[in-house]
Chains A and B, each alone.
Chain A
Amino acid sequence: MTDTTNQGFAPGTRPDLPPPVSESGVIGWLRHNLFSSWWDTLLTLGAIYLIYLIVPPFVTWAFLDATWNFVPEVLSGEKSPQISDCTSGGACWIFVRARFGQFFYGFYPDAERWRVNIVLILLVASIYGLLAERVKNKQPIAWFFFLIFPILAFVLLYGGFGLEVVPTQQWGGFMLTLIISGIGIVFSLPIGILLALGRRSQLPVVHLLCTLFIEFARGVPLITILFMANVMLPLFLPPGVEFNILVRILIGVTLFASAYMAEVIRGGLQALPKGQYEGAMAMGLGYWQMMRLIIMPQALRVAIPSIVNNFISLAQDTTLVAIVGLYDFLNIVRAGSRDSNWIGTEIEGYVFCGVVYWAFCFAMSRYSMHLERKLHTGHKR
């Protein structure tokens, strides 16, 4: 053993030495992570071959050979764009360009789309205000978001008060996807809280009813609940009363989402030590005060990452509303590629739809992971 102690260093004065070259730098990294054994090397080569099989053809199709621009006749207004304008052999992106407005706003009239934009800006701004660290006083934002915003958004989107009425049949595209999943998640929060408290209640009847509801809604597929909302719900209303199809779907989605929300909140409640309940009770707080001031603020904090995940799945599940003939984002893209001008653009449509969905959901899932990490450091030093 070569021993550095023989070089006559006094205790505590031994200098730091750099590691051997084979352990550090690019070569060290490659050796450790890609070529540590013959089996490892084989795997690496196999992986490179797999990437070679998939990535270059896709890049060629989607970028190098793709058609991005309209032909001059379209720009000068002589004809409308169509699939035969794409002659380069790759992806026909002019399909997406031509239909972009429809993909995002559905059949909402061009002249009124500013209203949707305002709602979207308000939505993003208030969610940022609610979640951002640097905004300190969140109470007015919360009041705005949960009380004023829904009414304002409804008036802006639907019309009335001097605004032209846009019936819900004209809503569609990414906007409709956001509306359905957003309303589903916002309304499922209070119902979910009540269901979660009910499931943990010591009153047997309340516990049983809440458990039955939660397990029922989680045991059947969303699509069957949509089917029920579509064909069965109207039969339970008093004769003469009719709900708009969108309202019926929203009721179904909200009830479905509440069951999952309840389980997420129940998880948050279970994460709290019993001492928090005892501390609050010993201080003389009543049940609802204890829930509002001590338990819920902590349980919801724990549950936020899962709530975001619920929102992600709900946004994806919203594609199922196509079954009752609503034109959500995916359905309107599919409808677009069935247009006789655009036969054969399915793949472009699906790839575009997939990329948008992916970016939206991936960003949110990263955010929820970030929250989860922050939770562990939370109010600590």
Chain B
Amino acid sequence: MAMAQGTPENGVANGHSHHHVAFWRDERKRGLAAQLVVILAILAFGWYLIANLLANQERLGIPLGLDFLENVAGFQLSFAVLPVTLESPIGRLLVVGGLNTLVAAFFSAIIATFVGLLIGIMRLSHNWLISRIAATYIEIIRNIPLLLQLVFWYGGVLVTLPRPRDSLSAFDLVYLNIKGLFMPRPVPEPGAGIVLIAFVAAIGIAIGVARWARQRQMATGQQFATVPVNFAIVIGLPTFAYLLLGRPIAWDVPQPGAFNFTGGVTILPEMTALIIGLGLSTAAYVAEIVRSGINSVSHGQTEAALALGLKPRWCMRLVILPQALRVMIPPMISQYLNVVKNSTLAGFIGYPDLFSIIGTSQNQTGRAVECVMILMLFYLSVSLIISVIMNWYNKRVMLVER
């Protein structure tokens, strides 16, 4: 900033002076000029980059465009949500890759949420030993790179599992060996739909019961044991329908074959390692969010609630949790985003997620720009969608609580 000690007289004292000020001395015009310079610089730089790109593409003989998505990929995937063959076009493989990513991220997020909740509550426990165990877990996970954890689960733990003929089994229904986790698969027979309908209906009834109980409590003051009753409804109704209809769902149980199990559902070790590794790692961060969320509610709130005569259980549900949730939701959003982003590490342990499929495609076709664009677009839109949904939920919670 110019600091010259100009004489005050040349600052004109009449009301029209600002029409004659040089633009670099005028607050507003200087801002405009600075922005114009920024825009021009960005445009010039962008133009330079694009000119280089076009020159390079021409020199290397690689065209720009998305036509390569229709080319036959010619490589196989070890796991695919939708069926693919060696003849499938690259485009279809990318769609499958995106779905593979989302499936793995979804299960990891579920594990992370439940384990994280458990560890977070353990961390808050009054029991010294339990609290220390949780703290140790958190400190170990957070100070070791995620990639190391993943390769440890995959290359360190899962390879030590027995061969198929020595599989670990539970009730001869679920088998675990070095080739993966084998579980029974439900095979619907006529009438299975009714069981499903019964299940959906049970959930609807449970919501209705909860509402009714609430209204009755508000009107008459009588309380109702909602939780056990609803639990019975949700479990009982579908089971009853299942038995009544003569067990319309058959189970395709994995059978030991010559080399491996056949039938049932197979979860490959790559996927198991990814889900376990990613889930348990994120759980440590979730645990910290839970802890700091609950700690963020001041102790005075607990004391006030207890002084009003609320039981500790009610104090938690009615006073602490609603306030803690508000603090917890934004960081939870970013943890779910992190799960999706971190699932890109899947390629290191051989799980075919979008990133590793794109890597292979780029290698085969040389279409770097298009591949990077598709990749970025996918992750940015997932980020955007998750934050929109969570922000919407966040706002709703805020409004309901106010």
Contact = CB atoms under 8 A, between A and B. Distances in A.
A–B contact (CB under 8 angstroms):
yes
Given A219-B379, A323-B347, A330-B147, A239 B56 contact: yes
Contacts of A322: 147, 348
B156 to A, nearest CB: 5
Interface stretch (B161-169, B255-263, B337-345): B337-345
B368 to A, nearest CB: 4
Contacts of B129: 33-34, 43-44, 47-48
Contacts of B383: 219-220
B35 interface: yes
Contacts of B126: 33, 36, 40
B144 A358 contact: yes
Interface string B361-381: 010000011011001100110
B140 A227 contact: no
Interface in A192-250: 202-206, 209, 216, 219-221, 223-224, 227-228, 231-232, 234-239
Interface string B318-353: 000000000000000000010001101101100000
Contact of B42 (A209, A234, A316, A330): A209
A286 B1 contact: yes
Nearest to B340: A221
A236 B52 contact: yes
Interface residues of B, number: 57
Contacts of B38: 205-206, 209
Nearest to A229: B372
B175 interface: no
Given A205-B35, A238-B52, A361-B143, A231 B372 contact: yes
Contacts of A302: none
B372 A334 contact: no
A283 B142 CA distance: 46
B52 A237 contact: yes
Nearest to B56: A235
Interface residues of A, number: 57
Nearest to A30: B128
Nearest to B150: A319
B17 interface: no
Interface string B38-54: 11001000000100110
Contact of A316 (B39, B145, B372): B145
A372 interface: no
A33 B127 CA distance: 5
A316 B155 CA distance: 19
Interface in A29-63: 33-34, 36, 40, 43-44, 47-48, 50-51
Contact of B35 (A50, A206, A287, A354): A206
Contacts of B1: 286-289
B152 interface: yes
A365 interface: yes
B182 interface: no
Nearest to A316: B145
Interface of A is mostly: helix
Contacts of A317: 145
B199 interface: no
Interface in B155-179: 155-156, 159
B368 A231 contact: yes
Contact of B355 (A204, A223, A231, A354): A223
A277 interface: no
B369 A235 contact: yes
Given A36-B126, A353-B148, A224 B155 contact: no
Given A34-B129, A231-B362, A350 B379 contact: no
B151 interface: yes
A51 B143 CA distance: 21
A318 B147 CA distance: 10
Given A40-B126, A346-B159, A319 B379 contact: no
Contact of B372 (A224, A347, A353): A224
A362 interface: yes
A320 interface: yes
Interface centre among B1, B38, B39, B145 (most CB of A within 10 A): B145
B57 to A, nearest CB: 7
18 contacts: A33-B128, A34-B129, A43-B127, A48-B129, A235-B53, A236-B56, A239-B52, A239-B56, A317-B145, A319-B147, A320-B345, A323-B359, A347-B156, A350-B148, A357-B148, A358-B144, A361-B144, A362-B139
Interface of A: 33-34, 36, 40, 43-44, 47-48, 50-51, 202-206, 209, 216, 219-221, 223-224, 227-228, 231-232, 234-239, 286-289, 312, 316-320, 322-323, 330, 334, 346-347, 350, 353-354, 357-358, 360-362, 365
Given A223-B355, A346-B159, A365-B143, 20 more contacts: A43-B125, A47-B127, A219-B384, A227-B355, A227-B359, A227-B372, A231-B371, A236-B49, A236-B56, A237-B56, A312-B143, A318-B145, A319-B145, A320-B345, A322-B147, A350-B152, A357-B145, A358-B143, A360-B143, A361-B142
